[in-house]
Structure 1
Amino acid sequence: MATTINPYLTFEGKCEEAFNFYKSVFGGDFAFVGRFKDMPPQEGMPPMPAGSDDLLMHISLPIGGGSVLMGSDTCQGFGPPVTVGNNITISISADSKESADRLFKGLSAEGTVAMPMGDTFWGSYFGMFTDKFGINWMVGFDKNSPS
């Protein structure tokens, strides 16, 4: 089983500033930059708070050796408030949908699921949870990635 684990950082409105700083240190180019205004409406999700359109929904910066530094801003209703210590999530990129399901089920046992595994508008099969030890996780499988 080939999986990768990458750090995912969460900010309150400073994600773009932070990632421009990280880019100045690591070099390279952003692989993806998506803003909350780019997100289509989702059934059952609250409307985006005023002033959040230009905040980062997701950004990724390859930093070498197959590692990717990822991050986002948080908005009310779209994740817990940022508290230093809970603003780092471990992101797992699985090599298959079955592997993603197995990892999600195993790691989330006795934890709190924030987003069950499911298809997303960005083309991934994805879910989020906090494990029974209080660690935040994201598990995904990029369905558009060559096998």
Structure 2
Amino acid sequence: MAAINPYLTFNGNCEEAFNFYKSVFGGEFVYLGRFNEIPPGESGPGIPEAYQDKIMHVSLPIGKHHILMGSDNHPAYGEVSFGQNINISISAETKEAADKLFNGLSENGQITMPMADVFWGDYFGMVIDQFGVMWMVSFNKNA
């Protein structure tokens, strides 16, 4: 069974938003990483100096089985607007299951990041399906 979690994207105020969510839901961040932690050559179009301390990824458990995730939008991709700032993150139980989900969601859609091993340890990819829904598909062998 795969796990599905909301993934929110912000225009530079992700940390402020997630500190607010933390005050509402309680708990601690499972992970909080900044753009300046991305290894050289892995940041795509590069990160401007003013954006180095912005949030690359944050995870906050909400209840027993759900995680609210988010990041600041990479500035090279422009600003996000309400309704375009939510992805569905789906974590598969196996690499094969991740590929099956990704390939299915990609049919008549647009791959924005092909499935690949990434520096944080996951097998990960992103796609916009044929209905305009944005998906993040991952498999973590250590989960």
Q: Could you tell me how far apart the structure 1 residues matched to 2:21 and 2:42 are?
A: 34
Q: Could you tell me how far apart the structure 1 residues matched to 2:42 and 2:70 are?
A: 24
Query: 2:97: which partner in 1?
Result: 99
Query: 1:116: which partner in 2?
Result: 114
* Superposition pairs of residues 128-147 of structure 1, within 5 angstroms: 128-145=126-143
State the SS of the aligned residue for 1:42.
Answer: coil
Q: Could you tell me how far apart the structure 1 residues matched to 2:43 and 2:86 are?
A: 26
Query: 1:52: which partner in 2?
Result: 51
Is the CA contact (8 Å cut-off) linking 1:49 and 1:75 kept in structure 2?
no
Identity across matched positions, percent = 58
Cα distance, 1:80 vs structure 2:
5.3
Query: 2:80: which partner in 1?
Result: 82
Q: Could you tell me how far apart the structure 1 residues matched to 2:75 and 2:47 are?
A: 8
Q: Could you tell me how far apart the structure 1 residues matched to 2:58 and 2:11 are?
A: 14
Cα distance, 1:83 vs structure 2:
1.3
TM-score in terms of structure 1 length:
0.93
Is the CA contact (8 Å cut-off) linking 1:96 and 1:141 kept in structure 2?
yes
Query: 1:71: which partner in 2?
Result: 70
Aligned length: 143
Cα distance, 1:50 vs structure 2:
2.5
Change (3 A) 1:91 1:44: closer
Query: 1:42: which partner in 2?
Result: 41
The alignment yields a C-alpha RMSD, in angstroms, of: 1.3
Cα distance, 1:43 vs structure 2:
5.5
TM-score in terms of structure 2 length:
0.95
* Superposition pairs of residues 23-34 of structure 1, within 5 angstroms: 23-34=22-33
* Superposition pairs of residues 5-16 of structure 1, within 5 angstroms: 5-16=4-15
Q: Could you tell me how far apart the structure 2 residues matched to 1:17 and 1:143 are?
A: 31
Which sections of structure 2, spanning at least 5 residues, go unmatched?
none
Q: Could you tell me how far apart the structure 2 residues matched to 1:94 and 1:27 are?
A: 27
* Structure with more of its chain in helix, by fraction: 2
Q: Which amino acid aligns with 2:120?
A: W
Cα distance, 1:45 vs structure 2:
2.1
